[in-house]
Structures are given as C-alpha cells and as structure tokens.
A and B are shown apart, each in its own frame.
Chain A
Amino acid sequence: MDTFQHLLAGLTAATSLQNLGFALIGCFLGTLIGVLPGLGPAAGTAILIPLTFTLDPIGALIMLSAIYYGAMYGGTITSVLINVPGEAASVVTCFDGYQMAKQGRGGTALGIAAIGSFVGGIAATVALIVVAPPLARIALSFGPPEFFALMLVGLCLITGLAGQSLLTGLVMAVLGLLIAMVGIDPVRGAPRFTFGIPSLYDGVGFIPVVMGLFGIAEILLTVEAPYRQVIKTKLTSLLPSREEWRRSLGAIARGTGVGFFLGLIPGVGAIIPTFVAYVFEKRLSKTPEQFGHGAIEGVAAPETANNAYANAAMIPLLTLGIPSSPTIAVLMGAFIINGLTPGPFLFKERPDLVWAVIASFMVGNVILLILNLPFVGLWARLLRLPYQYVCVGTLLFCVIGAYSLQQSVFDVGVMIVCGVIGYGLRKIDLPLAPLVLGLILGPFIEKSLRTSLEMSGGDFSIFYTRPICLGLLLATVVVLVGSLLRPPPPEARESNA
C-alpha cells in the first residue's frame, strides 16, 4: 500500500539519530514551556523559531512540532500539583487532578495523564494516516454558522458542570459570558466595558483569570489553616489501582474520540475538547458525584482529549493548509519560513517531508511518555516540602506567569482580584467551572454570530438553511430539554469544580 510505504519511509527518516535528537529536544523544551507559567505553546514555539534557523527543514519542523504537543503535557504538571493551569488547555485537569494530589495520589494522576496523552496522541496520528484527506473535508464544512451552533451546544455542557444546583451553574455561566464581553467588540471594533483602561481593550485575559480563580484561591484557602501540610496522606503508589485502570480505559477511549473529532474543526481550540470530554465522562459515569473530588476519569478523559486534539489538529494543516488554532498558525509560519507551504500541494510535491513529520508525531509521543513517566514521582515529591515553601513557590510562579504574558502588571492585578473572587466562591460553594466555560465560549459565540450575519447580509435564515448548522441547533435544543427533564444526580457539597 502506497501510504504504508510512505509511512515506512517517514519513520526511517524520523528515527535517524539526528531527527530523534531534535524530537527529544523539542519534547523536553515543550514540556518545560508547558510547565513554565504564562508562556503558552504559541509564544514558546514562536520564541524558539530562531533556534531552528540553522537546522534543515525536516529537523526544524520535527522539533517545533514536538515543542507544540510537549507543551500540552507540561501544563498538566502544574494543574495537578498546585492547581495552577500551566496553560489554558489544562484548566479542566485542575478539577480532579489537584484533588487527587491532595489525597496523595498526585503521582497516579500525572501517570494516567501521561498514559492517556500517549494513547490519544498515537490514536490520532494513526487516524490521521489512515483517513486524513476525506476527514479533512469536515474542516471545510464548518463555517461561521456551524461554529456558532457548535458553541451553543458547548454551552449545554454547563448542565454537566453545575454541581448541586443547575441554577447556580447557570448564573456562573452567565457571569462568565458577561465578563467575556469586556474589550473591543466584534461588531464595531469599539471598546466595551473598558472604562478607559487600555489593558482591558483585549478583554480580561483568560490565563490571569484562571490562574487567580484556581491557583491563588487555593493558596488563600491553604493558608487559612495554619501549619497544615498540603498533602495530608502518605504518597501512595504511582500506578493506578486495578479499579482505576478499569475506569480510566473507557475514559481514555472516549477522550480520544472527542479530541480527535474536535481537532478536525478549525477554531475550536484546545480547551473546549477537554471540557466536552470531562462532561461526557461525568454524564456516563455511574459515580458522577466523585467528579471534582479526585475521580481518575476526570483526569484521564480531558488529558487524552487534549493530546488527541493536538495531533488531530495537524490534519487540516497538513492536508488543506488550514491552521486550526493560533499555535498551529505559528507552526505554519515555521513551515513557511523554511520555504514549505502546508497544503495539498506540499503533500503531493514533498511527501517525504510531510510523512517524516507525521512519523515524528508518533515518535514524539513515545518520547514524551518515556521522558515524563519517570519524573512523575519526582514532581509529586515536590509537594511534600513544608507548606510555606509550596505556597510561596506557587505564588512566585503565578506572578511570573501572569506578568510574562504581556509584560503587564495589570494582568497580575487581575489575577489577584480573581484569586479573592475564587476564594469567596469556593467558600460559599458556587461552582467555578461554568464561569470558566462562559468565559471561553462568550467571544466565540458573539463573533461567529456576527460573522455569519455579515456573510448573509443580515439574513437569519442562514442558520436554518444550512444542514449541519440546523442539525447542531436541534441538538442543542434536545440536550437542553433532556437535561431539564432529567435532574442531575445528587452531588456532595464541597468540590473543586
């Protein structure tokens, strides 16, 4: 089979000593970037582009791709250990991952995240190889109206995140949506709710907000009870128990599916697949009340989804030349600087190159697993330091993270304020997850609605004359009605979500 021969050739190229070395460096740097606060994969990849100038195109691309999905993993580490999402897509991992760490199972959480990411990545790459071109057309059929409808479906996820009361979940989501409206509006390009503060022109800033709501709030809560060590129980085994394996398997499988399909739709971004996978898993679980308190599926599902997403999102890039997210756009820039334009043309003209890069994804996923698994125990041990050091370390981490995004003290201020808000919300048991979801979806919903109407010249029929859009809108209605009719199962009181 022709594809098989290509893959073999690609694998040979990818496993040359030199390219293996590049993949290794890329994975390492990527993980570091993911762990380091503030520096997201897009910025990190961009900063490292000059590094690759002296390399040949294949080597450079292998390294940069490795940095990209390596960063996806790095963000998990801080989410689990200190409840601070190392990068945006790791927010959901905080919900259960950090709880697991507090119960002494931090190592297990990191371990299952690594394994899930590996499976998700490999599966997505295999799927890429087998079904790339036909599936890639899906990317094209999602225009602004379909995207709008998809985001509405996304809003329905609130029902799965609401915790004990749908009402509070809805209010939090509405608040999140409202906060997302701060900044330059997509309609007229004029500032909205900015009160003359230029730093707000681009919105409140997602990362400082979540770092505050989760990380800082957690520190404030920890500090409240003096002389309390962050981890109460002894560090248990690093490997999941048999029961946990069983539960994780299903989560990993489903997470892969979710991440993969969403990866094909440009513009979705890495965060949404993690939310979808999490809620999906929670709904299907026989023990949903454990979610938010250290359910291992709550870590396995989103982590697998986000890695599957990262690999699947390369499909529109390589087959059609369409970047699915800002980070991939940076990767595309790297391709172009090296004189190669991703797209069907490149696939035909330089298959050796494209297949080497694809093969290196597989290799990279293996490297990531080997790189991270041994260190899991080490990372988990960091938490056993006296709580003052962990707290101050986390705070330092957060301050650097918030500042280094845009070299702005304002972002640090936003983070502190959100820390107080998050602290308060946790105290009175109002859920944070719907707030975060609203914050993410708000801009997407408004922009895609507006762009759709610009396309149609103000005609609303565009939403019901396009089949996929119509289908998604109907799905939204069905899901909403279904959730209202079936009350969510009873939940325990205090939860991290």
Chain B
Amino acid sequence: MMSHIVTATIGAVLALAATTGSAGAQQTFPTKPVQLMVAYPAGGSTDIGARIVAAIAEKSLDQPIIVVNKGGAGGQVGWTEFVRQRPDGYYIGFINLPATNTVILDPDRKAIFTEKDFTPIINQVLDPGVIWVRADSPYKTVHDLIDAGKKSPNTIRTATTGILSDDHLAILMTEEAAPGAVFRLVHLEGGAAQFKEIMAGNIDVAFDNVGSIMTRVKSGEVRALAVLDDVRSKFLPDVATMKELGYPTVMSNSTRGIAGPKGMPEPIVSKLRDVLKKAMEDPEHVSKLENQGLAIKIMVGEEYAKYFADTHAKAKKYTEWAKSRPHR
C-alpha cells in the first residue's frame, strides 16, 4: 500500500512539473522565462538599469525576465559564462563597452571569448566620459589641468574607476592629445570611491562618466571640466565638450546594451529587439534612468554592430599602451 501511495505521488508530481515547465517547445518564442544576465553584482548601476528594463519589458514579452547577477573580475566571470550559453533566446545579457572589449584585449586576462562571440541586440545607455574636480579646485578649465600636467608630470593624482576602465583609456587619450602631459594614475573602485577621495582631498581630478556625477555637479559640490563626447550632455548643458575645447580625439563613453551568445536566430533577435526597444522607450524607463543622469541611446542592428567594432578597435590601441606604460 505504501508503494502505491509513493508511486502515485511521484506520478502526480511529474505530471505537474511537466505542465509548469515545458522544455524547448518550438512554438512562439518565448514559452518560458528569459534570463537577463548582468556581469556585475546586484545594486550596481548596470544592474539597476537592467531591473528597470526587465520589469517593463516582461509585460510585453508575456514571460518573466529574470535578472541574473554574475559579477566578478570586472565582468569577466559573467561574460565567460555567458558565451557558453545556448543561443536560443532564453539567456541574454548586458555587455558594457568598452569594459567587455578591454577584458578581451588584455593579454593578462586570458579571456576565453572574443568579440565575435556575441550577437548584439540593442544598446540601452550611452554615458559619456567627464572630467571633474572638487568645486574649490585650482583647476577651473581643462586647459588649467593639462598645463599643470605638462608642468609637473606625474604629480597630479588622477582617479579612474578601475584598471582598463573607459576612464583609464580616456586619460591616455588625453595624454596623447596633449603631448608632455603625464598624470599620476590612481585606480579606485567605482564612482563612489572617487567621490569620497576627491572630497577628502586625496585625489586631484577624476575621470568618470556623466551618470555618476551629474547630480553632484548640479548641486555645486563638484565642477565638471569637460565632457568627453562630440555633443554636449543634456544633463550638463553648461559643460563644454573636449571637441569644443580643441581636443577632438579625446572621446570616450561607456555603453550598456543587451546581447545574446553568438549564433542567435534572426527571428528571435528581432522579437527581443522589438520588445526591449519598446520597454526602453517607455516613459517610466526614460524618467528613472534620466534621474540617474543616464542618457538613453538606443542602437540596433548595423549601427550597434558598427559601434561595437569601432569601440573594439579604439580600445585595442589604448589597452596596448596602458599595458606598456611604466607607471600604469
């Protein structure tokens, strides 16, 4: 009698399971939840942006979009895992350019993936680089900074948000555009650390992105010297661009977009693209991101693929230089 009960229960359970989670049906995609990977720990800027977009997009997708955090090693852990997934549309993830690029290009990292292992779907945010100092800093303009960098090379303590981050590369671009200027690089972890050290006076100038510092510029606590883009940021309309100031080659930004592993079938890419685009254009998404100072720049298809390739080529040049520079 016991064995009957056991058998019956197991049978019922399996039947139930079969109905709740169907495996690989060939009907309209998606038939089960989609996982959206973020290569950074929960709570970071990319993660929050992912959760916002997921919450909105899943309504039109009709299936839950579950944000999965695989943080570590500046994203390398997440992307390594990512490229191994099946390109069936049920596992997509955020790529952060140029972070993804530098991980691939840094020989020490020994990344097992290359730029060809991704199917870009849609870009979400484009956050231009910005140079900023404390409000009472002696550097009132970028020219002040560069002159000082030439006069006393390797003394101005310049913060990045991480080794081989977009800020790191941006500093090198600046040194290239202003020969003779050498900055003393201090690699901190993230924008919050930069803010603290600048306010404490341990750092003289920071290279970061508009999103991280926009609200502080507005409140007057810090001064932005320049935006590293070719158009002015709508969040910092009073801040000149490096192009206007005479350094058009110093262009750096950090983007976040969604991609799939390579080999995704076009119809699925298309479907995801449409759903995500709609979510990103949703006013709630826009307002929540803009509150954080993050400019939405939707890029799809050819445009995104080209952007990826261009960023990769540019990152290659500066990564090589960064690796050979004596004082890192």
Query: Is chain B in direct contact with chain A in the complex (CB below 8 A)?
Result: yes
Interface residues of A (CB under 8 A from B): 42-43, 45-47, 49-50, 53, 139-144, 183-184, 186, 188-191, 196, 198-199, 201-203, 266-267, 320-323, 326-327, 329-330, 332-333, 336-339, 341, 343-345, 406-408, 447, 451, 454-455, 457-458
CB-defined contacts of A201 to chain B, threshold 8 Å = 72-73, 76-77
Which of B42, B188, B190, B192 is within 8 Å of A46, CB to CB?
B42
| Chain B 119-155 per-residue mask, 1 if CB under 8 angstroms from chain A, else 0 | 0000000000000000000000000000000000011
Q: Closest Cβ of chain B: how far from A204's Cβ, in Å?
A: 11
Between-chain CB contacts (< 8 Å), 29 pairs: A43-B41, A45-B43, A46-B43, A46-B48, A47-B42, A50-B51, A53-B288, A140-B200, A141-B200, A143-B200, A184-B73, A190-B106, A191-B109, A198-B76, A198-B80, A201-B73, A201-B77, A202-B73, A266-B196, A321-B195, A322-B195, A330-B43, A337-B288, A341-B215, A407-B69, A408-B70, A454-B185, A454-B328, A455-B184
| Chain B 188-220 per-residue mask, 1 if CB under 8 angstroms from chain A, else 0 | 111011011101111100000000000110011
CB-defined contacts of B195 to chain A, threshold 8 Å = 321-322
Q: Is B292 an interface residue (CB 8 A)?
A: yes
Please, how many angstroms separate the alpha-carbon atoms of A38 and B67 in the complex?
16
Whether the pair A341, B288 counts as a contact (CB closer than 8 A) is no
Which of B77, B163, B215, B216 is within 8 Å of A188, CB to CB?
B163
What 13 additional pairs, Cβ within 8 angstroms, besides A140-B196, A451-B186? A42-B41, A43-B41, A43-B42, A184-B73, A191-B109, A199-B72, A322-B199, A333-B45, A341-B216, A343-B221, A455-B184, A455-B202, A455-B203
Whether the pair A406, B72 counts as a contact (CB closer than 8 A) is yes
Q: Is B232 an interface residue (CB 8 A)?
A: no
Whether the pair B70, A329 counts as a contact (CB closer than 8 A) is no
CB contacts under 8 Å to A, within B309-328, are 327-328
Q: A46-B51, A190-B108, A332-B192 known; A454 and B199 CB under 8 Å? A: no
Q: Is B157 an interface residue (CB 8 A)?
A: yes
Q: Is B291 an interface residue (CB 8 A)?
A: yes
- Please name the residue on chain B nearest to A447 by beta carbon: B189
Q: Is B244 an interface residue (CB 8 A)?
A: no
Number of B interface residues at 8 Å Cβ cutoff, please give it.
61
- Please name the residue on chain A nearest to B293 by beta carbon: A336
| Chain B 52-80 per-residue mask, 1 if CB under 8 angstroms from chain A, else 0 | 10010000000000011111111011001
Which of A186, A191, A266, A406 is within 8 Å of B69, CB to CB?
A406
Which of A343, A344, A454 is within 8 Å of B187, CB to CB?
A454
CB-defined contacts of A42 to chain B, threshold 8 Å = 41-43
Q: Is B166 an interface residue (CB 8 A)?
A: no
CB-defined contacts of B67 to chain A, threshold 8 Å = 47
Which of A46, A49, A345 is within 8 Å of B219, CB to CB?
A345
Please, how many angstroms separate the alpha-carbon atoms of A337 and B193 in the complex?
19
